[in-house]
Structure 1
Amino acid sequence: MKRSHLVKVAMIVLLSLGSLGIVGGSFFLRKAFSSSSEPGVITDTSRYQEIRQQILSDNDYVKHFPDELPSGTENVRIAYSTGVYQGSTYFQVRLKKSTENIEKLLSQYRRQAKHQYRGGSTNDHANQPNGVPTTFFYTSDAAAESFPASYEILVLDAQDQGKPGFKWHRGNSYGVAIDTSASEIVYWAETW
């Protein structure tokens, strides 16, 4: 009877260690193959088309994004996350363009914008009188959350789907952020 008890304890210990090994191993494998320092954020530019098509099939928040990334473009950055919270998603693409092209895009998007901000982040913008949520600077070269003052943030649309008394609990917003001095444009879309 003592021996069967010892066998059962040994089996429980072995099964526990095996389970722990599987969980720990999968965690380390996921970390090793992740292309971003943030879990669940895709930064691989070769996946741009796939991500855009996936989002476009669900809604039209990314219609203003380029159909494809221009070939030979340097310093392209993307950030895509389905978020840790249910329903939370962001997609952002940062491109460098010619000065003439940036000026044209700025003029075009200024006419379409429903809200305009200079620098800052979604928290800064949403907390202004009649402000709306925008985005953080996910494609920044630094760990900055806010856009520098050189960026003009143009909100093409923002829809509040929150409950009365809890504004912007759910919603979406999309637009562009343009820095004419750096000849850069950041396309963004967020839902939460």
Structure 2
Amino acid sequence: MKRSLTLTQIPSHLVKAIMIVLISFGSVGVVGGSFFLKKAFSSSNQLEVVTDTSRYQEIRNQLWTSQDEIKHFPTEVSAEVENVRLAYSPGSSQTGSYFQVRLKDSPQKVQQLLTQYRKLAKHQYRGGDTNVHANLPNGVPTTFFYTGETAESFPPSYEILVLNAEDKGRPGFKWNHGDSYGVAIDSSASEIIYWAEKW
């Protein structure tokens, strides 16, 4: 006759210890799994974009880490300047960061800035966005029209002047990482957009 091992033959303290270990592993698995799932969904779905113009000084002086990329930005946005729009995203491990401020100024001031920045620009484009510009012969990534009403691309009235663009990608992955900054100017609307972007 076969003898089977029953729970009554295993010492009760050993059964308790095994149950505690199994419950502990199960709890750690549930807690750890939910943490990683929450982290994966929250970082991919909730990208913070700041549009509050009152935070301009904070973003310019504290949050944007590469001051060389924004030294062309105005030190402050005066109350006299009309139609100020701001877009700032600190980015994440999956996405790049950007900082853009759009101002309307006098036609004379905008024309003066256009002349000044044309002399400094390493690349010049008319309308379009970063994807269009990067895919042109000898093109470089720029930015999207984050401060526009709906469009992601700049209308043809905007002249995009790249003050610098640095490729930090690996061989075979050109522009996989990098940064660029400059201005976009619509002289017919007397608007200038200062921008910096990292990816």
The alignment status of 1:166 with 2:173, answered yes or no, reads: yes
Match of residue 72 from structure 1: 80
Q: Is the 8 A contact 2:87 2:101 kept in 1?
A: yes
TM-score, reference length from structure 2: 0.75
Q: Distance in 1 between matches of 2:125 and 2:194?
A: 15
Matched residue pairs, number? 159
Match of residue 124 from structure 2: 116
TM-score, reference length from structure 1: 0.77
Gaps of at least 5 residues in structure 1 are 1-11, 28-37
Q: Distance in 1 between matches of 2:111 and 2:98?
A: 26
The alignment status of 1:62 with 2:70, answered yes or no, reads: yes
Among residues 126, 149, 152, which one is paired with 2:156 in the alignment? 149
The alignment status of 1:83 with 2:91, answered yes or no, reads: yes
The alignment status of 1:51 with 2:59, answered yes or no, reads: yes
Gaps of at least 5 residues in structure 2 are 1-26
Match of residue 8 from structure 1: none
**CA deviation map 1:141-172 (0-9, x unaligned):** 22x10000000000000000000010000100
Q: Distance in 2 between matches of 1:145 and 1:109?
A: 23
1:75, distance to aligned residue in structure 2 (A) = 1.1
1:188, distance to aligned residue in structure 2 (A) = 0.1
Q: Is the 8 A contact 1:79 1:92 kept in 2?
A: yes
Q: Percent identity?
A: 65
Q: Relative to structure 1, is the Cα distance of residues 56 and 41 closer, same or farther in structure 2, using a 3 angstrom cutoff?
A: closer
The alignment status of 1:191 with 2:198, answered yes or no, reads: yes
1:174, distance to aligned residue in structure 2 (A) = 0.1
Q: Distance in 1 between matches of 2:115 and 2:184?
A: 12
Q: Which amino acid aligns with 1:146?
A: S
Q: Once superposed, what is the RMSD of the aligned Cα atoms?
A: 2.1
Q: Which amino acid aligns with 1:162?
A: G
Q: Relative to structure 1, is the Cα distance of residues 116 and 55 closer, same or farther in structure 2, using a 3 angstrom cutoff?
A: farther
Moved over 4 A (4+): none
